[in-house]
Amino acid sequence: MQLVVASNNKGKILEIAALVAGVDLLSLKDIGFTDEIPEPYNTFEENAYAKASAISAFCGLNVFADDSGLCVTALGGAPGVDSAHFSGERNDEKNLQEVLDRLKQYDDRSAFYKAVICLICEGAVYYFDGVCEGSILYEKSGDGGFGYDPVFVPDGYTQSFGTLPLAVKNQISHRAKAVRKMVEFLALRIK
Ligand code: IMP
């Protein structure tokens, strides 16, 4: 089965590829899609659908898109759907610093990552989600992963996703949980 992953985010694609076996995973580059897809909505679900449906219309293949972000309790759930450009720029380092700056005045460091996958398979639309609870450090630790990973420590661990191996992140992350749900769904369909 061929499945297009509607993302240009190398960090995300790397994580997803490690979780999806037995499927011919195609990137946007593979299908020749170069446009930027707008993500103007206030929910992860709507943004994931916007990306998946744009790519589905472009190539006619089965496709899935993930929309994800960091939700910080003391910031009222921000950056949320604005995670990729919280500082006003699509710059991981600046976005991460923006969160640290805004959190300076708060003791509550709790946060969670959320991912929502929208799968368009043979014309039907399906959603799968995953959450990873944790807390925000006071400064960066490690440079692995991407985005906010150097300041995010998942519950039950003492090291950030910037330090923990990718294999650990892929056991417990929001994206891994959502991708696993989709993979289980596809495995039942393919049989
Ligand atoms: P999207 O491409 O619109 O879904 O934006 C996702 C953004 O959320 C990324 O650019 C990161 O800033 C943040 N994000 C989502 N998942 C992760 C993760 O696993 N690690 C670090 N940052 C993440």
Residue 39 backbone dihedrals phi, psi, to 5 degrees: -125, 70
* Residue entry with tokens 């944790």: 134
Give the pLDDT score at 82: 97
pLDDT tens digit sequence for 129-146: 999 999 999 999 999 999
Query: Is 67 assigned a catalytic role?
Result: yes
Is the minimum distance from the CB of 70 to ligand 1 under 6 angstroms? yes
Question: Looking at the 3D structure of the chain, how many domains does it have?
Answer: 1
Rounded CA separation 49/46 (Å): 5
Indicate which residue's Cα is closest to atom 13 of ligand 1: 69
Cβ partners under 8 Å of residue 163, min gap 6: 141, 142, 144, 150
Lowest mean pLDDT of 103-107, 126-130, 184-188, name the range: 184-188
Rounded CA separation 126/134 (Å): 27
Lowest mean pLDDT of 11-15, 167-171, 185-189, name the range: 11-15
pLDDT tens digit sequence for 22-63: 788 899 999 999 998 888 999 999 999 999 999 999 999 999
Strand 2-5's sheet: what is its strand order? Answer: 24-26, 2-5, 63-72, 110-121, 124-136, 152-154
Structural domain of 149: 2-190
- Angle formed at CA 151 by CA 82 and CA 144, multiple of 5 degrees: 100
- Residue 164 gets which letter from DSSP? S
Q: What is the pTM of this model?
A: 0.93
Within 26-173, residue ranges assigned H as helices are 44-59, 92-103, 166-172
- Residue 67 gets which letter from DSSP? E
Rounded CA separation 114/44 (Å): 8
Ligand 1 pocket test target in 68, 93, 100, 137 with most atoms within 8 Å of CB: 68
Q: For the domain that residue 58 is a member of, what is the CATH number? A: 3.90.950.10
